[in-house]
Chains A and B, each alone.
Chain A
């Protein structure tokens, strides 16, 4: 997704762009993921088992890099929501498409997350990434404390800052665009999920009909009965085909456009959070300037210092943010294009297979029994 930025020696000992999540193993109520990374040296692979807690640990470490200037300007690759083996309704809704397909789509989404982190010029330098991908032992568990990042989801009282006017035209436009895109992407992802769920229902209904038809087979020598039974069996096969086809269509939907829309939606959220962080910093700057202006001579120097530091931070953040936005816009177009192309190709393949199968069924039925009136 994000392109590899090599600044000097590579921070990781593995390739970032092809990290794989090959399995999701159920252990009671928890899920464990098998993560495979390819050594840069070409001498083999790392296979590690990680839980969702380990992922949160990784994310926490990434968020906590206060020593990196402008880190708040990074659009952090979004981590998918917590997976649960028997998720309650609310969790299912949050997971969306990722809750389907026996966690295979979820694994793909995790893969994407890890690949993006490992390929991010700044983030990949964090030691936690190397540890996460290569250490045989699971990384230390840390309680997820309220962190400064992901503010939007936590600090309700600060939300009113979100509308704060921007000093920069570029960011003003970007915030506007992002606001629309976040809602639109979320909506599209949810509507697409509805389509997939209904397709699954249809597949099940076809299966029921197919099974019920088998019960209509009548024993006996009577030629008319035999003819009718043959028709029932044939029709049962047809509906079985329809069931398989519908399941494939739904699967294609999930694996391509479904994942794409889901990622787009979460990524727009991630950008929204970054922009909010910057806005908060911007408000901080305004406050610092005001404080410095109004400060009594005694405090003036200190306030000026605070002001300067804040402005510096804000400057870094804005610079990083601009780069991130540019990269984000480029990569999301690429991602969506790939999703749409793969979606179309797979649906086309499935449709051709289905048409072929149905034609065969049609020929077989025409060849059966007496000619229709």
Chain B
């Protein structure tokens, strides 16, 4: 991010590179078949398929190529297709402190709607949690310094050990949390709230080397606010709220420093998701979308993305002008003060000085208003643009899941054909092997179909939740904004009422 006085266009966040890190541990990074290497063929049903060989070509467009190199052992992905039975969605090293979850290897849980089960079983615990991020504090010196934020949780929910507790976290901890959640849940179809936008090299460097000026303070404040919103939005998800990583993040005073977070960046994550979206678009096999709902929703989110970006641009312009107004008002106040000083006529002199004071106060109001514009709307819209990207990513995962299922089916078909041929040869060993492989593949196909249906079902729920949250979010912000506007006007009225007698007193 550049100087906060001129917030950069949204795209900049997404493309920033930092220290060469570039990875997002993608669940299917270790998968053998790349999704986009298939030649163009018109595929209208599941049974058609490309030639077998090309399935395993090295895909130059393999979006996961980068990720594959740098996947850290801390958060390995499970290849859903290759494991037996339902895949555990949890990273094995994190001990589950929460009992209920889709990640206990239970067939039923994975195929049923995990949402409902959790909500029912926890029962009665209404959503009552408030998280605040505060007290940014510089730790260390020079280029190794970092900002530590206090994360305070106030809650009455039983999943937590206490009602009120605080921990210290740094920015990379937040990124680490996001990466863990994404690796666990993204492929199931949960919308994972994206973390606060990328560190600005300029912004953070200023803070690290101790250059305290308004822009670095604004940067820290902007980040603090963004982190707070990130956490609040994340815990609004009924399943994620109880996720052990989330709980550990909020409660544990010692968080193991996520090793991979140095390699992590939210820009990298978003680049990954964006690339996923692009790659899917480039895919030469079109998914046979039997469900109009998904087609409509995808279009809807495309449109929403465009609209929100436009709105965001508008608000940024507005914020810019307001800050300009503040500067100009301050300068006018100074010139009025000078007029007052050099004025001989006593009453006029006093009135001009009062005028200068009123203008200074109004300047302060302009600044407050600019902040409201920014922190309420600009950030809200920015958050939602990033959120939409996450939503689109989820849709893409569904497509990938479908693709896996199709691939497995095609492979099965081939194996069956091969087996049929082997029937006529005298190779009992090979035949036996073929039969075993077919059995395996049949299970994979079933799993693939189940996965696809599960993802589709989950996405429907997630989208519905998103739409509801969206309304609540926007309404809350709009009300806050209107309240601030009304307050500004009433303050303005007070200033004018105080000035009027002064102006009248000139004679």
Asked if B500 contacts A238 (CB within 8 A), the reply is no
The reply to whether A191 and B496 contact each other, CB–CB distance below 8 Å, is no
Q: Is the interface of A mostly helix, strand, loop or mixed?
A: helix
Q: Given A188-B335, A234-B478, A362-B479, are A202 and B321 also a contact pair (CB < 8 Å)?
A: yes
**Given known contacts A185-B339, A205-B321, A340-B506, A228 and B348 CB-to-CB distance under 8 angstroms:** no
Instruction: Collect the chain B residues with CB atoms within 8 Å of residue A191's CB.
Output: 328, 331-332, 334-335
Alpha-carbon gap, A344 to B478, bound state (A): 30
Contact flag A187-B335 (CB < 8 Å), given A222-B467, A224-B464 = yes
Q: Does B476 make an interface contact (CB < 8 A)?
A: yes
Binds B, one of A49-57, A208-216, A293-301, A316-324: A208-216
Complex interface: chain B residues within 8 A of A205 (CB): 314, 317-318, 321
With A231-B474, A341-B503, A344-B503 in contact, do A199 and B325 touch (Cβ < 8 Å)?
yes
Q: Which A residues, 331 to 350, have Cβ-Cβ distances below 8 Å to chain B?
A: 333, 336-337, 340-341, 343-345, 347-348
Q: Is B318 within 8 A of A224, CB to CB?
A: no
Q: Is B311 an interface residue (CB 8 A)?
A: yes
Q: Which residue of the partner chain, among B317, B318, B328, B499, contacts A194 with CB atoms under 8 Å?
A: B328
CB-based nearest B residue for A188 = B335
B493 & A337 in contact (Cβ 8 Å cutoff): no
Mask, B469-486, CB within 8 Å of A = 1, is: 011101110110111011
Q: Is the CB of B335 within 8 A of A206?
A: no
Instruction: Decide yes or no whether B497 CB sits under 8 A from chain A.
Output: yes
A177 adjacent to B338 (CB under 8 Å): no
User: Bound complex: CA of A191 vs CA of B330, how far in Å?
Assistant: 9
Q: Which residue of A has the minimal Cβ distance to B303? A: A218
Q: Choose, from A131-139, A302-310, A363-371, the stretch at the interface.
A: A363-371
Chain A residues lying within 8 Å of B427, measured Cβ to Cβ, are none
Please measure, in the bound complex, the distance between the C-alpha atom of A218 and the C-alpha atom of B482, giving whole angstroms.
23
Contact B471 A231 (CB under 8 A): yes
Q: Which of B332, B475, B499 contacts A231 (CB 8 A)?
A: B475
Residues in A whose Cβ lies below 8 Å from that of B479: 362, 365-366, 372
Contacts of A224 in B (CB 8 A): 464, 467-468, 470-471
CA distance A201 to B304 in the complex (A): 27
Assembly CA distance A64 to B405 (angstroms)? 99
Question: Does B425 count as interface, using CB distance less than 8 angstroms?
Answer: no
B177 within 8 A of A: no
Contact partner, A333, options B335, B345, B476, Cβ 8 Å: B345
Looking across the interface, which residue of chain B has its beta carbon closest to that of A186?
B335
Contact A188 B474 (CB under 8 A): no
Is A144 on the interface with B (CB-CB < 8 A)?
Answer: no
Question: Considering residues B300, B344, B478, which has the most beta carbons from chain A within 10 angstroms of its beta carbon?
Answer: B478
Contacts of B467 in A (CB 8 A): 222, 224-225, 228
How far apart are the CA atoms of A341 and B335 in the complex, in Å?
19
Interface positions of B from 298 to 338, Cβ below 8 Å from A: 300, 304, 307-308, 310-311, 314-315, 317-318, 321-322, 324-325, 328-329, 331-332, 334-336, 338
A369: contacting residue among B304, B475, B483, B507, CB under 8 A:
B475
Give chain A nearest CB distance to B474 CB in angstroms.
5
The interface size bin for chain B is 35 or more
Indicate if the CB atoms of B321 and A184 lie closer than 8 Å: no
- Nearest chain A CB to B470's CB is how many angstroms away? 6
For chain A, the bracket of interface size reads: 35 or more
Interface-central residue, A184, A213, A359, by most chain B CB under 10 Å: A184
Distance in Å: Cβ of B86 to nearest Cβ of chain A: 32
**Of B334, B471, B486, B503, which is within 8 A of A337 by CB?**
B503
Query: Any chain B CB within 8 A of the CB of A89?
Result: no
B485-A195 in contact (CB<8A) = no
How distant is the Cα of A213 from the Cα of B474 in the complex, in angstroms? 12
Cβ-closest chain B residue relative to A234: B478
Q: A201-B324, A231-B471 are in contact. Are A195 and B332 (CB under 8 A)?
A: yes
B342 lies within 8 A of chain A by Cβ? yes
A68 at interface, CB cutoff 8 A: no
The answer on a CB contact under 8 Å between B311 and A213 is yes
A368 to B471, CA, bound (A): 10
Q: Is the CB of B321 within 8 A of A201?
A: yes
Does residue A31 face the partner (Cβ distance < 8 Å to B)?
no
Contact A188 B332 (CB under 8 A): yes
- Shortest C-beta distance, A5 to chain B (Å), equals 22
The reply on B182 being an interface residue by CB < 8 A is no
Q: List, in ascending order, chain B residues with CB within 8 A of A336's CB.
A: 348, 506
Among A329, A344, A359, the one with the most B-chain Cβ atoms within 10 Å of its Cβ is A344
Q: Would you call A1 an interface residue if the criterion is a C-beta within 8 Å of the partner chain's C-beta atoms?
A: no
**Cβ contacts under 8 Å, B499 to chain A:** 344
* A150: interface (CB < 8 Å): no
Give the docked Cα–Cα distance between A365 and B486 (Å).
13
Given contacts A198-B321, A201-B324, A228-B470, contact A373 B476 (CB under 8 A): yes
Judge if A97 is at the interface, Cβ distance under 8 Å.
no
| Chain B CB within 10 Å, residue with most, of A213, A235, A368 | A235
Q: Return chain A residues, CB-CB under 8 Å to B12.
A: none
The one of A177, A209, A348 in contact with B314, judged by C-beta atoms closer than 8 angstroms, is A209
From B355, B470, B474, B500, residue with most partner A Cβ within 10 Å: B474
Determine whether B48 belongs to the interface, using a CB cutoff of 8 Å to chain A.
Answer: no
Cβ-closest chain B residue relative to A229: B471
- Is A218's CB under 8 angstroms from B300's CB? yes
Q: Which residue of A lies closest to B465 (CB)?
A: A224
Residue from the set B335, B336, B338, B479 with the largest chain A CB neighbour count within 10 Å: B335
Residues of B within 8 A of A358 (CB): 482, 485-486, 489
Whether the pair B322, A361 counts as a contact (CB closer than 8 A) is no
Is the beta-carbon distance between A355 and B493 smaller than 8 angstroms? Answer: yes
A180 at the interface (CB under 8 A from B): yes
Cα(A71)–Cα(B260), bound, Å = 88
At the interface, yes or no: B54 with Cβ under 8 Å from chain A? no
Complex: A215 Cα to B322 Cα, angstroms: 24
Asked if A181 is at the interface of the complex by the 8 Å CB criterion, the answer is yes
Chain A residues near B318 (CB-CB < 8 A): 202, 205-206, 209
Could you say which residues of chain A place their CB within 8 Å of the CB of B236?
373
Cβ contacts under 8 Å, B334 to chain A = 191
Q: Which of B314, B324, B348, B499 has the most CB of A within 10 A?
A: B314
Q: Which residues of A contact B470 (CB under 8 A)?
A: 224, 228
Supply 10 A–B pairs (Cβ within 8 Å), ascending by A: A187-B335, A192-B332, A202-B322, A215-B307, A216-B307, A224-B470, A227-B471, A242-B485, A355-B490, A372-B479
The 6 A-B residue pairs with the shortest CB-CB distance, nearest first, are A355-B489, A224-B467, A337-B506, A340-B503, A348-B496, A191-B332
Given contacts A191-B334, A215-B310, A238-B478, 15 further A-B contacts (CB under 8 A): A177-B342, A180-B342, A191-B332, A205-B317, A205-B318, A208-B314, A212-B310, A212-B314, A224-B464, A329-B345, A337-B351, A337-B506, A344-B496, A348-B496, A372-B479
B residues with a Cβ closer than 8 A to A are 127, 236, 300, 304, 307-308, 310-311, 314-315, 317-318, 321-322, 324-325, 328-329, 331-332, 334-336, 338-339, 342, 344-345, 348, 351, 355, 464, 467-468, 470-472, 474-476, 478-479, 481-483, 485-486, 489-490, 492-493, 496-497, 499-500, 503-504, 506-507
